[in-house]
Structure formats: structure tokens, C-alpha cells
Amino acid sequence: MELRHLRYFVAVAEELHVTRAAARLHIAQQALSTQIRNLEMELGFDLFVRGSKGVTLTAAGRSFLEGARKTLEAAVSSVELARSVAEREANVLRIGFCSYAMKLGLADAIASFRAHYPEVQIVLDDLPASEQLLRIERGRLDVAICSIPLFRPEIRTVTLASEKLVGLIPPLSASTMRTPMYLKDYAKLPFIALDREAYRDYWRYLDQLCREHDVSLEPAHEVKEKHSLLALVAGGMGVSILPAHVAETARGSLRILPIEDLPNEISIVAAFDTHSPKGMRDYFLDLLKQEVASRRVDLVPERELTHLSSVK
């Protein structure tokens, strides 16, 4: 049995139709049918019940599907891990970041690092925090610079700064809705939210705050991109709650207000893979901490509000 046999089986099991599965796999239908029959003969039991309109999984097939998916996922993870090791051996430092990392001194830290390690290739990935942390866990990033609203014991971090959640409100010219002050006020207005699946950590944190305040936020709209959310709020479609650094990109187009009963702070961290080359990783982190300490990190103009504390 080879991995390709498992991929063939999973495709048929998910499509429940050999023709569609063959098209998905870009192979001939007859060849796929033969491969599935050969797999069943090797296993000694039927995986599918064939019918005129497609196939259905047998009880044994359903059980085998779960194991097949795990085996394929493990194979992909093994390849990614091996690739990451190979990249490290080739002197590559992979850094994930969000847009506000430049405010923390990322560019200057990279310049200083290159002066000390000119032979090291630096790969930069601008990614959402959840994707950065996932890549750290899978060994596909060496350092991630992002906000981390909830403690994650499986990830090593160095705290660079902290910020609060702020309210994003339409400009007075675009809406006559009342101005919210407390978290419960946002639940009474059309709420524009980031996609729950794409921003899982953000939603876990927001849900936790809502439970603590006995508030239920039901989004009127969910969007996958922050710039889309900002545009909807600026257009008067509703209100939102986001970390303060988002206000930097929305300056002048909407109102940014503190939420009176949310004093909680979100850490902005450098998360890292403990298996990355320790010497150059730690040297880069030291440079980044020095840059953060040397500047006043202020992501939101003082006249609106200041929600970012000094470096810890």
C-alpha cells in the first residue's frame, strides 16, 4: 500500500462518486476504479458499496477513512518538518510579521542582523497572527511577531509591548447611530466582524470577554480581510472591535474610541520555534528588543487614544 492509494481512497470517499473523484485527481476513471479494487483486495474487505448513482462507504470504509486522513496529514507534516530542517541548514531565518511590526522596529532589527550575519537569507511572510502561530507550531517559521490575546503554553514567546481592544465607529458624516461606550453597547448595534474561522484566536478572546460581561455579539456581517471591515465601518454599515494597531490603517476614515469596561491588554510578542538555529535566532530577538526599547511605540495618535504600553 502506498500513500497514493490512500489519496485515491480519500478522494472517492469525499466525493462519493468515482467519476468526480477521478476528475479531482486528474486520472482516468477506469484507472481509479482499478486502484480502489486493488486496495480492497489488499485490505481484505470492501470500502464502498457501489450503486448506479455513486458509492457509499461501508462501516469499515468509514473507519479506514479516519485513519487514512491522519496518515496523509502525518506524511505532509513530516515533509514540512524535513523541509524546514533543510532550510535551516541552508542558513535561512524565516520571520512572520503583521503590518504593525514595522512600528516596533522590525526593519532596523533586520538591518542590524544582516550586518552581523550577511550569509543568512531572511524570508519575510506578512501573515495573520493565527497563521503565524500555526507555522511556528509546524516548524515553518523561526520567529513570529504578532498579537497573542490568549496564553498558549505550547509556544515560547518574548513580550515586546501590549495594547487594548478599541471600538471602531463610523464617522459622524456616515451614520447617526449612537456612540457606544461599553461592550454591551456594541451588541445593540450592527456589528462587523472578522471571519471566525480565519481569526480563531481573536474570536476566542472576544468570546471570553463577552462571557465575562454577559454579552452576546451577533455579527451583522463577517469579512475575511481587515481592510474590508474598515471600509464597511467607514461607510456606516456598523461598528466593530479590534486591537488598537488596526487604527493605524484607519486613521481619518472612522472614529476610534476606548471601550470603558475593557481594560484587558493583549500582548504583542515575538513567538519562536525552539528548534530553529539558537544562535542567530536569539541574536535577532535581542536586536528586536533593543529596537522596541529605543522607541516610543504609539500605534494610535494620542489625540484619539493611546492603548499601547511601554516595552516590558
**Taking the model in full, what pTM does it have?**
0.57
Residue 35 has a CB neighbour count (10 Å cut-off) of 19
Range with the poorest average pLDDT among 85-94, 96-105, 174-183, 196-205: 85-94
Distance CA 174, CA 7 (A): 52
Average pLDDT of span 269-292: 81
Q: Which residues, including other chains, have CB under 8 Å from residue 273's CB and lie 6 or more apart?
A: 136, 139, 141, 142, 143, 281
Res 219: pLDDT: 94
Beta strands in 63-190 (DSSP E): 92-97, 121-126, 143-148, 156-169
Average pLDDT of span 121-137: 87
112 CA to centre of own chain: 28
Average pLDDT of span 112-116: 91
Q: Where are the alpha helices (DSSP H) in 90-199?
A: 106-116, 129-137, 183-186
Res 127: pLDDT: 86
Of 5 and 81, more confident: 5
Element housing 41 (H / E):
helix 29-43
pLDDT, one tens digit per residue, over 59-110 is 999 999 999 999 989 888 888 777 766 655 557 889 999 877 887 889 999 9
Q: Which of 29, 39, 41 is nearest to 68 (CA)?
A: 39
- Nine-digit cell string for 300: 494610535
Q: Which of 175, 245, 234, 184 is nearest to 209 (CA)?
A: 184
303 pLDDT above the threshold of 50: no
Q: What percentage of residues in the chain have a pLDDT greater than 70?
A: 88
Distance CA 2, CA 22 (A): 18
Res 304: pLDDT: 43
Q: Which of 139, 159, 157 is nearest to 77 (CA)?
A: 139
Mean of per-residue pLDDT scores for the chain: 84
Distance CA 128, CA 198 (A): 8
